[in-house]
Structure formats: structure tokens, C-alpha cells
Amino acid sequence: MPKACYIIIQCQMFILLLGSFACGGSTKKRQEQHDSIKGKYSVIDTGFMSRKGTSPLDFFLNTYADSLNRLYSGRLPEFLKDVQFDYNFSGISANSNVGLPLRKVIFDRVTNCQSLLMIISDTSAVYKNHPVKQNYIKIDSAQYSNFELAKMRLRKLNCP
């Protein structure tokens, strides 16, 4: 493998890890710790510690799945609006011509029927858009929109 490709892959993995920390910050467990100096309570985000021992890829995927699993009302996560999500993170695949079906894997980890229903009932057309093939990369679930992936997952979970 050329050195330039190796450097690009390393940069993408670094960005991937940084993105996973930034994405999951609002959904992680919180722990209060008394700050005796200021006499206030501060909140320390310890959610990342519970994922110790998981691979960076699993950490990344679980962060996005958790954002849906912990959602019961409010706005849907922004990553769902990224129709090209699988292609934008295709660099994490070992094979440069075949990308990982990241959206499909994320939806397969979702167990919250309410968040899936929120996607299906949303009136915005953005969740019904299909990815466009990019850079000759083949992704198995590219024919499905996020709307369709949510419907398939709902059926599999037998949600009411």
C-alpha cells in the first residue's frame, strides 16, 4: 500500500474517533461530583468509560445507535440527514472498493421502537432520500433510505 494511502487512512480513523466522541457527548451517562473548592456541582461525562475494551469501529457505531436508542422525543439526530453517510465514512473499510453498510449496522443495533417510529412519521423528505453511488464504492444497503431502514428494523423488532 502506498505511504500516502496509509496516511490518509490513519487521518480518517483519527477523525472517526474524534467524531464519535463529539457525537455522543449529549447521550452519555452523567455523574455528579461535588466540587468542594467552588461549592458547586459539576457534571463529568463518564459514558465513554463504559465502552472500554470495544474496538474503535464498534465504539463509533454504538455511539450513533445509542443516539437513537436514548431518544424518546425531540429532534432526530443530525447524522440521519446525511444521505451519503456510508460513503462519507467509506475510508474505514479495509477494501477501498467495498464500503461497510454503516447505516444498516447502526439501525440493526437500535432497539427503541419510539425513535424508529419518529423517523417513519417525520414529514421531512430527507429521511426518504437514497444515497448516490460515489467513487465506484459498492455498499450493500445503499439502495435503502433511512426511512426504509427504520421500517425494516421496526418489522424485525415486532414493534406495536
Sorted by where each begins, the domain ranges of the chain are 3-157
Buried b or exposed e, range 116-125, using 16+ CB within 10 angstroms: bebbeebeee
d(CA 156, CA 160): 11
Determine the pLDDT at residue 69.
Answer: 96
Type of residue numbered 154? L
The rounded average pLDDT for each run of 10 residues, N- to C-terminus, in the chain (160 residues) is 45 48 40 39 46 82 95 93 92 76 96 96 94 89 95 93
pLDDT, residue 81, reads 96
Q: What pLDDT is attached to residue 67?
A: 95
